[in-house]
Each structure stands twice: as C-alpha cells, then as structure tokens.
C-alpha cells in the first residue's frame, strides 16, 4: 500500500498536468515557441537574480523567527531552508515544512511545537502581505466593478484593518489562558495547544522580529514581482508598471494555496492569463512568461539542493 503522501501527490500531479495541457491547447504552439525564445539571456539572468534575491530574503525572514532563542547560525539554517524549498516544488507544500522542522529537531534539539509555531508565524505574515498586494492589484484592475467591492474609502478600509488587528491581538493575549489546560496533554491536542501557545509567545515577545519580517516580505514581493516584470518586458509587450505587475503576480500566486494541483501548476498560469489579459497582454505571452519563470525557479531551487542534502545528511560512520 503506498504511503499517504503518495496518495495525495498523484491526484494533484494529474490535475496539474491536465490544467496545463488544456491551457497549452488554447494557444498557438508555434507562437508559444517564438514567445519562449523571445526574452534575451540578459533578461532571464536578471529575472533569475531577482528570484534568487527574493529567496534569500525569504530564508532570512524564516531564520529571524526560528532563531528567536536557539543560537542557530544563518549559514547552517540556509541549506535546511533551501532543501525544504526544493522539496516543496516537487511534493505537497507541507513536506518542505516537515524537512525544516525535522532537521531543526534533529540538529538543534528544538521541540516540535517550537519550530512549527515559529514557521506558522512566518507563513502567516507572508500570506497577509501577499494578500495585501493582491488586494491592491485587484482593486486597481477592477475598472468595470466586476468584483463588487464594498463602497468604502481608503480610510474606512484602514479602520477595518485596525479593528481586525486589534481583534487578533486580543485573541493572542487570551491564548495562554485558553490553552493552559491542554498544553501538557500528550497526543495531537497537546501538540496543537503548545504550537498555538508558541505562536502567542512569538507575538508577545518578538514584535520587532515580526515587524522586520513584514517589511522584508513586502520587499521580497516587489523583488519577485520584478522577475515577472522583466520577463514580460522581454516579450516586447506593453508591460504594466512594476508595482501593478507585482500585485497581479501576487494575486495569481495566491491560487497556489488551493489544494487542487501540485504547487499550483496550471491554476496559477490560468489565473495569470485572466488577470494580465485584462491589461492587454496576450495569453501566449503570459503562458510563456509563467513557464519560463517556473523553469527558472525550479532550476535555482533544485541545482543546489543536492549540495544542501549532502550537507544535511548525517555522516556514515567509518567501518
């Protein structure tokens, strides 16, 4: 009987292949080949540099929160993060997180709930920042009022955001009392309680680290958006401004959170065609740009992954 991870992997891989195949059938294959060859090597190198820079920022962001008290060096953490990133591109996303967590537990004697809680804080900040960029992009794109946003001013939207932040802060302040009776229990319930308690502790004790993480996440989103902007520029089309491109790329990237296909393959491309199509970029150029960027990401992630694995693998005792 195959393990549960395999049973989850193959249906998502099949959906990803199906969605991508249907999308490729919508464009002229000759035009697609020409579009793939259009960006220069200089453009691709610059886009790859942007992806590399954004990934290093993401690794440092994760390190900021993971290393609250542990004394882990960034040069030791980076191979762990890189291997987790590469694993997440090929397997369901949670597998990459488990690589990070299990490696930290084994090498630095970190508790499961500690690593898991701090990782979830980092992911929550990333999700909120990317969602904010996506929201800005969709509001700017909605010239025909397709999405039926509430008719609120920016001040009113800001007030709602402050109220939501206060509500979350109040919940975080109450978490220790709510979880006190469950944190010492064995089993899944105890792990969940301890993980939530760790999340509350990070929010209370390390707001500066969370603030730095948030600012760097915004910078990373712009830098990765720059990779999209550069590749679109290489197609020869009229490209939206950098900020708008980053926002629309963030909106399409959010689709990858839906547990439909492997790593969002197919779903993200479909969303990109829909969003950038409203800005007048032909589908063939959007598809070619997204495919080139996905290949760049996989190359940058997977080429060093073997080295990272060799660094993380326990040494075999000499016979």
Side-chain-side CA neighbours of residue 288 (13 Å): 27
Residue 318 lies in a domain: no
Rounded distance, CA 123 to CA 126, Å? 5
Does residue 122 form part of some domain? yes
Please indicate, yes or no, if residue 76 is contained in any of the structural domains. yes
153: helix, strand or coil: coil
pLDDT (0 to 100) of residue 180? 55
pLDDT of res. 152: 57
What pLDDT, on a 0 to 100 scale, did the predictor assign at position 143?
56
pLDDT by position in tens, the chain (length 319): 344 444 566 777 788 888 888 888 888 889 999 989 998 999 999 999 999 999 999 999 999 998 887 678 898 888 888 888 887 777 665 566 666 666 766 677 788 778 888 888 998 899 999 999 998 888 877 654 455 555 556 666 667 777 777 776 666 666 656 555 555 555 566 777 777 788 888 888 888 999 999 999 999 999 999 999 999 998 887 788 999 999 999 999 998 887 788 778 888 999 999 999 888 899 999 999 999 999 999 899 887 766 666 665 654 444 4
* Residues 191, 113 contacting (CB under 8 angstroms): yes
Q: How far is 23 from 270, CA to CA, in rounded Å?
A: 7
Q: What's the pLDDT at 238?
A: 77
Residue 2 lies in a domain: no
Q: For the chain, how many structural domains are there in total?
A: 1
Can you give the residue range of the structural domain that contains 46?
8-16+27-311
Cα–Cα dist 1/4, whole Å:
9
pLDDT of residue 262: 78
pLDDT at position 1: 39
In-domain check, residue 152: yes
Is residue 317 domain-resident? no
* pLDDT, position 42: 94
Decide if 119 is inside a domain.
Answer: yes
Residue 247 in domain: yes
């Amino acid at each position: 009987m195959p393990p549960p991870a395999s049973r989850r992997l193959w249906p998502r891989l099949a959906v990803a292949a199906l969605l991508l195949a249907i999308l490729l059938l919508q464009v002229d294959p000759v035009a697609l080949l020409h579009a793939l060859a259009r960006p220069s090597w200089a453009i691709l190198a610059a886009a790859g540099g942007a992806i590399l820079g954004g990934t290093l920022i993401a690794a440092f962001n994760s390190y900021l929160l993971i290393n609250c008290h542990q004394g882990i060096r960034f040069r030791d953490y980076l191979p762990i993060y890189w291997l987790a990133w590469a694993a997440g591109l090929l397997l369901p996303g949670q597998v990459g997180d488990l690589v990070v967590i299990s490696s930290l537990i084994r090498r630095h004697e970190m508790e499961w709930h500690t690593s898991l809680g701090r990782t979830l804080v980092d992911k929550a900040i990333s999700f909120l920042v990317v969602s904010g960029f996506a929201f800005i992009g969709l509001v700017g794109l909605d010239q025909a009022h397709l999405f039926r946003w509430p008719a609120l001013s920016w001040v009113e939207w800001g007030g709602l955001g402050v109220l939501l932040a206060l509500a979350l802060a109040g919940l975080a302040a109450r978490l220790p009392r709510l979880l006190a009776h469950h944190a010492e229990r064995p089993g899944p319930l105890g792990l969940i309680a301890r993980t939530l308690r760790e999340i509350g502790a990070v929010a209370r004790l390390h707001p500066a680290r969370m603030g730095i993480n948030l600012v760097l996440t915004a910078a990373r989103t712009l830098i990765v958006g720059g990779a999209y902007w550069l590749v679109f520029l290489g197609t020869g089309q009229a490209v939206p401004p950098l900020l708008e491109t980053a926002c629309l790329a963030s909106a399409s990237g959010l689709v990858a959170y839906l547990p439909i296909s492997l790593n969002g393959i197919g779903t993200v491309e479909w969303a990109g065609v829909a969003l950038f199509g409203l800005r007048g970029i032909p589908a063939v150029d959007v598809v070619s740009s997204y495919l080139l960027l996905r290949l760049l990401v996989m190359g940058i992630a997977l080429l060093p992954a073997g080295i990272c694995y060799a660094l993380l693998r326990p040494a075999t005792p000499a016979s």
